[in-house]
Amino acid sequence: MTDTATDLPVRTPLSIAVDGPSGSGKSSVSKAVARSLGLAYLDTGAMYRAATLWVVREGVDFDDQSAVAAAVRAMPLVQTLDPVDPGVALAGQDVAEAIRSEDVTRVVSRVATNLDVRAELRRRQREIIDGETRPGGYSAGRGIVAEGRDITTVVAPDADVRILLTASEESRLARRSLEVRGTADAESVAAMRDQVLRRDRDDSTVTEFTVAADGVVTLDSSDLDFDQTVAAALQIVSRAAHVRPATKA
Ligand SMILES: Nc1ncnc2c1ncn2[C@@H]1O[C@H](COP(=O)(O)OP(=O)(O)OP(=O)(O)O)[C@@H](O)[C@H]1O
Ligand SMILES: Nc1ccn([C@H]2C[C@H](O)[C@@H](COP(=O)(O)O)O2)c(=O)n1
């Protein structure tokens, strides 16, 4: 495999783990990196969102932690790993749009902070990253980019490349506001505080995604535009994962 940013060969299969807070650009940057390198793409946040939708649809009480975990263990989730068109299906039904609804975003942290749910989804994530299951028929022989909140630290601490993608609160709120409302005026930015900052506060009770663990490279995108951030991520990959020719004695 060749890194299109540097034209140098990189390890195959290649595993790239990306974590970071809400709105830092994990999904969009990871998809672009995966497209550029011809890798599969795993959105682990989509798994927590699908689990939340499933729990709601099954009529399970969020306060009944063991019933929530049992429902998630039985969840018939299939994701496609194509970075151009990542799909999410529950019981054969396309839910890619439904899991992004405000209703799901508001309550997803309640499911994501259930430790038994986390254990089940971690198990599924590792199977996908390790190549034991590749749902949805997308071939990921060249490797995978997996992104979330605990991929660099807990799910895939042995990944070839590990990146913590950060950005200031101000940038993250403005980006989310532009994405959701098409404007970053003061009122719209303020309206994003719950789905960005409150959610991070709740999620960070069970995972650390603001400080890089040992060996994880921090990429601060606050002052970078999208293309610059993707280029910087590709540089990190190429530095960390080049196959160096053997040196002659
Ligand atoms: N460096 C950047 N500069 C400007 N906008 C960016 C940058 N990176 C990402 N964006 C935009 O910010 C928005 C949020 O990005 P994205 O959804 O990828 O974040 P995320 O970290 O995956 O968030 P969440 O965890 O909440 O799903 C998107 O509209 C994306 O296009
Ligand atoms: N590895 C992960 C991925 C996601 N989460 C939680 C945190 C979020 O509130 C929720 C949805 O993620 P998003 O789609 O916004 O990236 O899932 C987690 O705890 N661990």
**What distance lies between CA 225 and its chain's CA centroid?**
19
Tell me the CA–centroid distance for residue 228 and ligand 2, in Å: 24
Pick the residue whose CA is nearest to atom 10 on ligand 1.
Answer: 25
pLDDT at 139 over 90: no
Check if 148 has its Cβ closer than 6 Å to any atom of ligand 2.
yes
Helix (H, G, I), strand (E, B) or coil at 220: strand
Task: Express each pLDDT in 163-180 by its tens digit.
Answer: 999 999 999 999 999 999
Q: What percent of the chain has pLDDT over 70?
A: 90
What ipTM was assigned to the predicted interfaces of this complex?
Answer: 0.98
Q: Is the pLDDT of residue 5 over 80?
A: no
145 sits in which H/E element: strand 143-148
Ligand 1 center from residue 24 Cα (angstroms): 5
Tokens describing residue 32:
């672009």
Dihedral pair phi/psi, residue 39, rounded to 5°? -105, 165
Average pLDDT rounded to a whole number, residues 155-166: 97
Task: Spell out the CATH class of 14-241.
Answer: alpha beta
Dist CA 22 CA 202 (whole Å): 12
Q: Say if ligand 1 is within 6 A of residue 172 CB.
A: no
Alpha carbons 110 and 219: distance in angstroms, whole number: 28
**Any residues with CB less than 8 A from the CB of 46 and at least 6 apart, and which?**
79, 86, 88, 96, 99
59 has binding-site annotation: no
Q: Among 5-19, 58-72, 94-108, whose mean pLDDT is lowest?
A: 5-19
pLDDT tens-digit map of 14-70: 999 999 999 999 999 999 999 999 999 999 999 999 999 999 999 999 999 999 999
Domain boundaries, the chain: 14-241
